[in-house]
Amino acid sequence: MATFQLELVSPEKLLLSRAVEMAVLPAAEGEMGVLPGHAPMIITLRGGVIAVTEGGQVTERLFVAGGFAEVTPGRCTVLADEATPVGQLSKAAAETRVREAEAAYAAAAMDTPEKREATMTRLLTARAMVLAAEAA
């Protein structure tokens, strides 16, 4: 089966760099599959899970808290704001993040639309983290 190079980079380190068959990314517009030969593009990521397929099955699931991905026919580079293997997520910690994000969103009710949108993005990311932790 054809492969492409997948690289996942967070501010702390290079988390993954290897040839894979497919990656499903949490694009801002919805789930997006990347296969070898994909058209070049730059994608905004929302909080969610990247699923990596090798040998015909999902071998790795990583939670990302937003970022960007650059896709070319032979490579996909993900620049994640934060990335954690799904198996290492803590449901309790994720639920704490939801509560903090809900409080921040409520406090931003009278702020500018941009600040409200940023707090809503933070809340949606925290909720996605809870769902990923429950599924682990």
Angle at 50 between CA 102 and CA 92, to 5 degrees: 40
Helix/strand/coil for 12: coil
pLDDT tens digit string along 17-75?
A: 999 999 999 999 999 999 999 999 999 999 999 999 999 999 999 999 999 999 999 99
- Residue 80's nearest CA partner among 100, 62, 93 is 62
Residues 6+ positions from 52 with CB-CB distance below 8 Å: 6, 16, 20, 22, 23, 58, 59, 60, 61, 62
Q: At what angle do helices 113-135 and 91-107 cross, to 10 degrees?
A: 160
- Residue 1 confidence (pLDDT) above 80: no
Share of the chain above pLDDT 90, in %: 82
pLDDT tens digit string along 62-72?
A: 999 999 999 99
Read off the pTM: 0.86
**Tokens at 114, concatenated:** 């941009």
- Half-sphere exposure (CA, 13 Å, Cβ side) for 89? 29
Angle at 105 between CA 51 and CA 80, to 5 degrees: 30
pLDDT at residue 109, as a whole number: 85
